Amino acid sequence: MNRHDDTSSLDNATAYVMLRTSRLLRFHLDKFLESAGAPISPEQWIILFKLWERPGLPQNALTDPVLNDEPNITRLVRALIQYGYVERITDETDRRRKLVSLTAKGEALMAHLLPLVVETRKRIFSGIPEDELERFVELLHRVEDNLIEDMTHEPHDNMTRM
């Protein structure tokens, strides 16, 4: 790896560009939600979306090994309850569980936001034909698989402490 060839430059490093783009994506979503009058974070938006798709989920169904662990979900849901977008009831058939749903206020928020999101999505991916976008997502999934595969095969034991 030469100090100044193109492949070594950070700006051309795929991983680096992905990191940048996704950070920007989160920032953009944050600004979008703010300008749409929704006082929620991108992470809370994801929760609301999942609940909109499938109401009455237990909290652990909201977790994601990559994005949000259980403690995070607890905090995110708590905040959404305080805003009044979400309600949480104990599952009487299994009292460990707490089932989470959108309130009427939460449904109203989603009804307000979703059309705007669809529009925004168009702008974000404008100039990219549909089939390329599909391929793009496929590649993302491929990378994700490779990453997980690689981590389960660790360690490579280059444990020379520097």
Partner DNA sequence: TGTAATTAGTTGCCTGAGCAAGGAATTTTT
Partner DNA sequence: AAAAATTCCTTGCTCAGGCAACTAATTACA
Which parts of 12-71 interact with DNA (CB under 7 A)?
A: 23, 41, 43, 58-60, 67-71
Q: Residue 39 or residue 89: which is nearer to a copy of itself going by CB?
A: 39
Q: Residue 79 or residue 116: which is nearer to a copy of itself going by CB?
A: 116
Q: Segment near a copy of itself (CB under 8 A), from 13-21, 69-77, 89-97?
A: 13-21
Residue 151: DSSP 8-state: H
Q: Which long-range contacts (CB under 8 A, 24 or more apart) does 47-51 make?
A: 47/73, 47/76, 47/77, 47/80, 47/86, 48/80, 48/85, 48/86, 48/102, 48/106, 48/109, 48/110, 49/110, 51/86, 51/100, 51/101, 51/102, 51/106
Which parts of 97-136 interact with a copy of itself (CB under 8 A)?
A: 105, 108-109, 112, 114-118, 120-121, 123-128, 132-133, 135-136
Q: Does 78 bind a copy of itself (CB under 8 A)?
A: no
